[in-house]
Amino acid sequence: MYFHPEQISRLDPLRRRMVAAFDAALPPSAIQEVEQADSDGHVDAVITVGPSRLTVEWIGRGSLRDVDRVCQMHRRPDVIVATKLSLAARAAASAAGLGWVDETGAAELVTDGLVVSRSGDPRRSGPAPKRWTRSVLGVAEALLCGTTPTASATSEATGHSVSSTVHALATLTELGLLEASARRGRNSGRKVVDADRLLDEYADAAARLRPALELRCGLLWREPFVALEAIGERWDRAGTAWATTGAMGASILAPFLTEVTNGEVYVDATTVPELLSVARIVELEPMEGGRLVLRPFPTATSRTRSTVEDGLRVAPWPRVFADVRQIGVRGEEAAEHLREVGHGR
């Protein structure tokens, strides 16, 4: 048993991290003592807050999937701790009666004599890892779509040079997402260590590196999918590359959301004038709050690996997964459904 704060330095790094998250969310001196784990190692720590002795489990990133895993445990902890719980994860934890704390300072705890509800500061979650670049994103996207992790196959799938592809594969290997074989050269073999972890880390980086440039266009559409198909046909005739993503893309690849009213489309443009030019090909006009959003393709792979589904061109499923996760609780639920479908594509 360790008494807080005098002996907290004797805890291992993970449990120090958990206690630090509690400290950021709770009143001063709320933590009375910390134990490494219960007798059978079922949870990561037992933390006494005021008069309450709480079993606590570290769940990692804090996605909806992470919370669902805990909810399925035979013996659930009292509190979960994560890097940054998503909105859907917070809602699921609250609905299941799980207390939660994350490293942004957000928390929801109800104990004997203590009620804590804090929104936290998202800026505390840290900057984007410098090793994730657009080329690394593009290579990860191709691998998640089933490309063999060799320099030659990945270069062909992404359109990157072999040297750029080799560097991206090496970066993913250094991040522990790929495992390299002993052979070297453009045909040397690697394998994905954990596809779900690769998808999660790719999606986190994709959200942070998403292009800020966008053009919102106004249009009236009672049937969004039919309207976008007609718009897409005109872009196709003009030789303009495009692909839908977000809620509309997810609804095409893995139907889950019952209503989609906005469209999000990647197009072949890199500046505002180019976005305007693409919009005018199909007689769309800019409008603040418009229902159709045009954005530049975020990676070369997002363009080259797009597919036609039910008459609509759709971005690669990992990219759609990353984008639909950003639109709230229902978006994350749709993303998790797409994960299940996408791994089998």
- Angle, alpha carbons 176-178-180 (nearest 5°): 110
Query: Which of these, 94, 57, 60, 67, lies nearest to 336 by C-alpha position?
Result: 67
pLDDT, residue 199, reads 95
Confidence of residue 41 (pLDDT cuts 50, 70, 90): low
Domain end residue (candidates: 95, 125, 155): 125
Query: Which of these, 49, 55, 287, 321, lies nearest to 205 by C-alpha position?
Result: 321
How many domains does one find in the chain?
3
The whole-number average pLDDT for the span 6-23 is 80
pTM score above 0.85: no
Least-confidence region, from 13-22, 137-146, 208-217, 326-335: 13-22
Query: Tokens at residue 274, please?
Result: 């180019």
C-alpha span between 116 and 257 (Å, rounded): 33
Q: Are 80 and 94 spatial neighbours (Cβ–Cβ below 8 Å)?
A: no
Question: What is the per-residue burial (b if ≥16 Cβ within 10 Å, else e) of 3-37?
Answer: ebeeebeebeeebeebbebbbbbbeeebbeebbee
CATH of the domain at 195: 1.10.10.10
> For the segment 143-171, what is each residue's pLDDT rounded down to a tens digit?
999 999 999 999 999 989 999 999 999 99
Task: Say whether both 261 and 151 belong to one domain.
Answer: no
Domain end residue (candidates: 125, 158, 184): 125
Domain end residue (candidates: 67, 99, 125): 125
Q: How distant is the alpha carbon of residue 242 from its chain centre?
A: 23
* Residue 242 Cα distances to 137, 156, 263, angstroms: 19, 20, 12
Asked whether residue 196 carries a pLDDT value surpassing 70, the answer given is yes
CATH of the domain at 225: 3.30.460.40
Return the higher-pLDDT residue of 24 and 41: 24
Asked whether residue 38 carries a pLDDT value surpassing 80, the answer given is no
> For the segment 82-128, what is each residue's pLDDT rounded down to a tens digit?
999 999 999 999 999 999 999 998 999 887 777 888 887 766 655 55
- The boundaries of the domain holding residue 81 are 2-125
Task: Say whether both 77 and 22 belong to one domain.
Answer: yes
pLDDT, residue 53, reads 87
Mean pLDDT of the chain: 87
Task: Say whether both 235 and 334 belong to one domain.
Answer: yes
Asked whether residue 303 carries a pLDDT value surpassing 80, the answer given is yes
